[in-house]
Amino acid sequence: METTATILHADLDAFYAYASVEQLLDPSLRGKPIAVGGGVVLAASYEARAFGVRGGMPGRKARELCPQLIFVGGNFSHYQRLGDAAIKVLDDFTPVVERISIDEAFADVAGCTHLFGSPRDIATAIRRRVRTELGLPISIGVARTKHLAKIASQVAKPDGLVVVDPGTELAFLHDLPVSLMWGVGPATKARLAEIGVETIGELARTHSGALTRLLGPAAGEKLAALAWNRDPRKLETRRRAHSAGAQSALGQKPAVARVIVPTLLHLADRVASRLRAKARPGRTVTVRVRFADLSAVTRSITLDQPISATTMLAEIAGYLVRGVLADHPREKTISLLAISVSHLWESAELQLDLPLGLADEKRRPGSKKGLARFGADRAIDKIRERFGKQAVGYGTVALEAARSVPDEFRELAEKEL
């Protein structure tokens, strides 16, 4: 492992929530509490966060916490353009850049210090250029490992720089809350609190057996290693996704067909169109259903042949969701639906099926009906390529439940295959 701190984690402040971009585009919003969204808060400026407003929060609750909150609709094309421009600044310093979302990336500067100075100097130059050229604040953490660099950038927020020297790593890390660690969400944080673990140092000193019993062997071992800054991962500059997924936050909706069916078709359209664009169908379909109390259940099925047809995926997802609801008859309200497809195939070869009149023939990609469905999807893809995504769709699937979050936001967040 490297003995010097050369890994940078750069994160545009409040950018993923897009609030800083809105303040940049409209100077009258600067210094004011703003949120991007409407029925659901997609983003919140630092001024709004001070009142407790967070992404994913219902708009009504956000207004209760902050009566002076200003909602804005969103400038989607600007988000993508500015995010790309910020990452391009990193590319100007080093070719070893791993982008992990629209607004953040890792960079390893070990090979370019002779050109641009120390890692601190490089981070300072990046922050200055992003501020000067784009008008956006960016926080950067510099450390010896990816995990510590990401934590350092969170500590640096807003609009700061934190460099963790190798000799001070554990002293820096162990006083911080466990919620800053990669992989510690609200549920894991609550479980750790039950055994008196609230800081990373307390986690590091917890017996491995206790963590295994609490979190399971994989998560327990991983968090224990990260608590001691043991993170051997290298930057991956060219990754291929092993799955494709999409989700829709619904707020509080009844678990009935008129909500579920159009939403799943809308999600399937987003996922399947990406699979077809990369010619990477998948065999395993997974759905996630989140209920009103935020508990979630997943179901999956692995098919004989990989699929990438929209209606085929939607029907399989519907079958899985119905199974979840049948197993949880007391749950009458859902707050989120998600679909993902994994076990992606590189080969475009398709085994044709004999016309045997099977009950599930239309869900078999090699059947006559399956081929017709795929052909219709490809026709839709070509129309959209020429005239835009809104030119053609699947009937009346785009109801409010499926569009509580604008598609443009979802597409920016979904990783490319």
CA 411 to chain centre: 10
159: left (phi over 0), alpha (psi -120 to 50) or beta: left
Tell me the sheet residues that pair with 338: 247, 288
Tell me the sheet residues that pair with 7: 108, 143
How far is 313 from 272, CA to CA, in rounded Å?
7
CA 33 to chain centre: 24
Q: How far is CA 138 from CA 25, 53, 105, 242, in A?
A: 17, 21, 11, 30
Q: How far is CA 69 from CA 20, 44, 57, 75, in A?
A: 15, 9, 13, 18
| Tokens at 102, concatenated | 């629209």
Q: Which class for 173: exposed (0-12), middle (13-18), buried (19 or more C-beta within 10 A)?
A: buried
11 labeled part of a ligand binding site: yes
| Tokens at 180, concatenated | 């800053």
Strands (E), 28-137: 34-37, 41-44, 70-72, 97-99, 104-108
Strands (E), 63-199: 70-72, 97-99, 104-108, 138-143, 161-163
CA 227 to chain centre: 23
**Residue 177 DSSP code:** B
Active site positions, annotated: 104
| Tokens at 129, concatenated | 């250029």
- Which residue reads 């967040």 in tokens? 413
Contact 236, 221 (CB under 8 A): no
Residue 245 neighbours by CB under 8 Å, 6+ apart: 271, 286, 338, 339, 340, 341, 414
103 labeled part of a ligand binding site: yes
- Phi/psi of residue 286, nearest 5 degrees: -125, 135
Contact 322, 288 (CB under 8 A): no
**Residue 160 DSSP code:** -
How far is 16 from 412, CA to CA, in rounded Å?
9
How far is 151 from 163, CA to CA, in rounded Å?
11
User: Per the annotation, where are the binding residues?
Assistant: 11, 103
Cite the annotated binding site for Mg(2+) by residue number: 11, 103
